[in-house]
Structures are given as C-alpha cells and as structure tokens.
C-alpha cells in the first residue's frame, strides 16, 4: 500500500469515527470556545512551542498535524479526558483525533490565512455539517 493510500485509509477512518460520534465535533467546538476562539487556541499552541504547526493552520499552505502527546501537553489531560468519556475512546486516541482534526477545523475557519471575525459558534456549526453528512 502506498503512502497516499495509507493516508486515505486513515482519513476515511477519521471521517467514519466522527460521523459515528458527533460529540467529537461538538467537543472540538467546546475546546476552541474555551480557549478564546481561533486566535486564542492558535496562540496557546504557539506559547507551548508549536509555532510552526499553529501558524500553518491559519496560513494558506499545508497544515502541520500534531501528535497526541502534544495535544495533551497544550490542552491538558482533564480537557482530553472529558471529551474521551463522551466519545467512548481512551485519552490517547482522543488526543490523536484532535491532533488530526483541529488543524483542519482551524484551517477551514481561517480562509485566506485570516482568523475569522464574527460569530465563531455559527461558523463551527456550519463546519460540523461537513463531517456529519
């Protein structure tokens, strides 16, 4: 299996998981809101040493994913455990899922490399529909 095929299979699994657990999207929404919206969460990742990754999510180039341990380091284990209980996964798997989805969500909420203005909640709700069709 080529690298591209492996990546495609992982993406398909993530989409299936999100479709079967819509709490994942609402959990990511809650995490973004609790951390000051897009600019707040991006700044939080930058402050913890993930400047390149966080900048890539808002920028117009490719997004840099982050690992599960990095997500836990930045967001804290309590936040991850709370979402893990809701989605029925362990903390490590939940953090890994966030590490894969958060860059996509931030990227979509910041078109043209600009952080969004206006009502983040409605933007996140609209974005959630992409994952839960």
The pLDDT of residue 32? 86
The confidence score (pLDDT) of residue 115 equals 66
**Among all chains, which residue has been given the structure tokens 């989805």?**
101
| pLDDT of 128 | 55
Q: Could you give the angle at the alpha carbon of 42 between the alpha carbons of 40 and 43, nearest 5°?
A: 65
pLDDT of residue 21: 61
Q: What is the pTM of this model?
A: 0.74
What domains lie within the chain, and their CATH numbers?
Answer: 3-131 (1.10.10.690)
Q: How far apart (Å, rounded) are the C-alpha atoms in residues 100 and 11?
A: 9
**Residue 109, Cβ neighbours under 10 Å: how many?**
20
Q: Do residues 126 and 50 touch, judged by C-beta distance below 8 A?
A: no
Report mean pLDDT in 10-residue bins for the chain, 133 residues: 54 58 75 87 94 90 90 94 87 89 84 64 56 53
């Amino acid at each position: 299996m080529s690298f591209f095929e492996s990546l495609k299979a992982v993406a398909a699994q993530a989409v299936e998981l999100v479709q079967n657990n819509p709490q994942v999207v609402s959990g990511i929404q809650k995490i973004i809101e609790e951390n000051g919206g897009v600019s707040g969460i991006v700044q939080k990742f930058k402050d913890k040493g993930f400047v390149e990754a966080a900048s890539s999510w808002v920028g117009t180039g490719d997004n840099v994913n982050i690992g599960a341990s990095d997500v836990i380091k930045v967001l804290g284990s309590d936040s991850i455990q709370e979402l893990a209980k809701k989605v029925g996964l362990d903390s490590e798997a939940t953090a890994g899922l966030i590490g894969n989805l958060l860059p996509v969500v931030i990227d979509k909420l910041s078109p043209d490399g600009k952080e969004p203005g206006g009502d983040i909640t409605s933007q996140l709700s609209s974005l959630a529909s992409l994952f839960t069709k």
